[in-house]
Amino acid sequence: HTVSVFPKYIDQKKPCKQFSFYYHDIIYDGADNAANATSAAIVNPPGLGNFKFGKLVIFDDPITMDTNYLSEYVARAQGFYFYDKKLGVNAWICLTLVFNSTEHKGTLNIMGADLMREPTRDIPVVGGTGDFFMARGIATVETDATEGLRYFRLKMDIKLYECY
């Protein structure tokens, strides 16, 4: 038991599990969209720069298979994001995908910078439970649509490289 098994090799093109879906964030405007809203900012930005630096949003967002946020959700994404760039738009996100369907039960946990100015960006999957017990991998994220200050949609492509 004193032999290291590292370095190991993983072929990035051959995840042991892969799936894609859409994440919908409908931001509470403090007024008339409470019925639809799935997220809310909890603080006002402190005024550093012009790109919402420090705005922190908590969410319980639907995950669907197609681009319609009213479609049946296959998971919820629970977590938070905040904006963190003084001279441009950039975010940081941490979330749990909560699956509770006949197909999947369990969670996947994702955290990291969301470099919004890049067309696609990778964010690590750092853990999982249930069907995704001990999983690790990469979530590739792409902004798919934005509607003013109240809605945006991400395409998420999850690739797991540790499956148990």
Position 56 contacts a copy of itself (CB under 8 A) = yes
Options 62, 73, 107, 156; binder of a copy of itself; rule CB under 8 A:
107
Candidates 64-72, 74-82, 142-150: pick the segment binding a copy of itself (CB under 8 A). 74-82
Is there a cis peptide before residue 7, judged by omega within 30 degrees of 0? yes
Options 19, 71, 80, 143; binder of a copy of itself; rule CB under 8 A:
80
**Least Cβ distance, residue 89 to a copy of itself (angstroms):** 12
Distance CA(83)–CA(81), nearest Å, equals: 7
User: How many other C-beta atoms can be found within 10 angstroms of the C-beta atom of residue 93?
Assistant: 21
Position 102 contacts a copy of itself (CB under 8 A) = no
Distance CA(92)–CA(107), nearest Å, equals: 20
Closest CA to 141 of 128, 127, 152, 157: 157
Position 41 contacts a copy of itself (CB under 8 A) = yes
